[in-house]
Amino acid sequence: MKPDQELLISGKDITKVFGYGKNKNTAVDSVNFAFHRAEIISIVGESGSGKTTLAKIVMGLLKETSGEITYRGQPRKLKNHRDRKAYWQDIQAIFQDPFSSFNLFHKVEKLLNDCLDLQGLKLSKEERFEKMKEACTFVNLKFEELYNKYPFELSGGQMQRLMIARIFLLHPKVLLADEPTSMVDACSRSTILDMLLKLRDENDMTIIFITHDVGLAYYVSDTLYIMEKGKIVEQGSAEQVLINPQHPYTQQLISDVPKLNEEWNLG
């Protein structure tokens, strides 16, 4: 499936400065982006390049110092609780540390039930059970075995699957995934990515991956944004950027993955 042309979220000259004076740090520097419906985008860069800061700005968790974000054709407004609630119904995130995404005092059943509540759906107890079970099955978890457990009783991999089960129930328009596979082994890793790709195909979800792994980015993405020291130094279709990188930083990132060309058979 290919992304369509409907522009969903874009940013113009987005800048984020932390600190003052000698401690001033421009984490995101005049960044422009345009993400479309059903598009899979990877933002690739080394540690400290500003990926997570940019992701938090897109999420509305961090206020940009300057620049403008447009969402569905309108300047994004997050002034009051109502604006934010509406925005966060449409955009969800999976962060590196799954523990940060859950209320650790709530059992799995409540965590999933809350997703159904957020949708405002009127469902019977049986319907709720069926939906939660379906979500767990989608990510190869057994609801019957987990529903009564607390997040800290789950493995890192189970937690990550549970996060995807939540996304399955919430079906947001945009999913921001910050290194979503960092806590799972290589085998589960491709399963998790396949789950996310399937969600995109079924729900036309736009997915933004934040990663330092060019290989992963190529495997999953339509579009790559390469970020260095707060700036987007190169962007384009995944093939175009990987096969014919223009910027020296991109060339270096790719050459740091010596087997990339062979593994992905890029010639």
Ligand X SMILES: Nc1ncnc2c1ncn2[C@@H]1O[C@H](COP(=O)(O)OP(=O)(O)OP(=O)(O)O)[C@@H](O)[C@H]1O
Query: Which residues ranging from 53 to 112 are in contact with ligand X (CB under 6 A)?
Result: 53
The CA distances from residue 197 to 9, 98, 141, 191, 220, in Å, are: 19, 19, 18, 10, 8
Dihedrals phi, psi of 151, to nearest 5 degrees: -50, -40
Residue 19 or residue 248: which is nearer to ligand X going by CB? 19
The CA distances from residue 233 to 107, 188, 196, 240, in Å, are: 44, 32, 27, 14
Residue 51 or residue 131: which is nearer to ligand X going by CB? 51
Please state the closest distance from residue 224 (CB atom) to ligand X, in A: 15
Please state the closest distance from residue 169 (CB atom) to ligand X, in A: 27
Q: Of 29-37, 51-59, 182-190, 191-199, which part binds ligand X (CB under 6 A)?
A: 51-59
Q: Residue 136 is encoded by which pair of tokens?
A: 């767990």
| Choice from 52, 101, 221, 235 touching ligand X (CB under 6 A) | 52
Q: For residue 123, give every residue at least 6 positions away whose Cβ sits within 8 Å of its Cβ, in sequence order, or none.
A: 116, 131
Secondary structure (3-state) at 199 = helix
Please state the closest distance from residue 176 (CB atom) to ligand X, in A: 12
Q: Are 58 and 176 within 8 A, CB to CB?
A: yes
CA distance linking residue 240 with residue 259, whole number of Å: 18
Query: Which residues ranging from 197 to 256 are in contact with ligand X (CB under 6 A)?
Result: 212
| Choice from 5, 47, 74, 265 touching ligand X (CB under 6 A) | 47
Q: Are 207 and 40 within 8 A, CB to CB?
A: yes
Among 227, 223, 220, 232, smallest CA distance to 253 is for 227
Pairing of the two strands 7-18 and 25-36: antiparallel
Q: Of 19-27, 75-83, 155-163, 168-176, which part binds ligand X (CB under 6 A)?
A: 19-27
Residue 26 or residue 140: which is nearer to ligand X going by CB? 26
| Choice from 6, 18, 82, 237 touching ligand X (CB under 6 A) | 18
Q: For residue 171, give every residue at least 6 positions away whose Cβ sits within 8 Å of its Cβ, in sequence order, or none.
A: 199, 203, 205
Residue 27 or residue 214: which is nearer to ligand X going by CB? 27
CA distance linking residue 51 with residue 43, whole number of Å: 7
Please state the closest distance from residue 50 (CB atom) to ligand X, in A: 4
Residue 64 or residue 135: which is nearer to ligand X going by CB? 64
Query: Counting contacts by CB under 6 A, is residue 48 touching ligand X?
Result: yes
| Choice from 3, 11, 45, 180 touching ligand X (CB under 6 A) | 45
Q: Of 30-38, 43-51, 65-73, 217-225, which part binds ligand X (CB under 6 A)?
A: 43-51
Query: What residues line the site for ligand X (CB under 6 A)?
Result: 18-19, 25, 27, 45, 47-53, 212
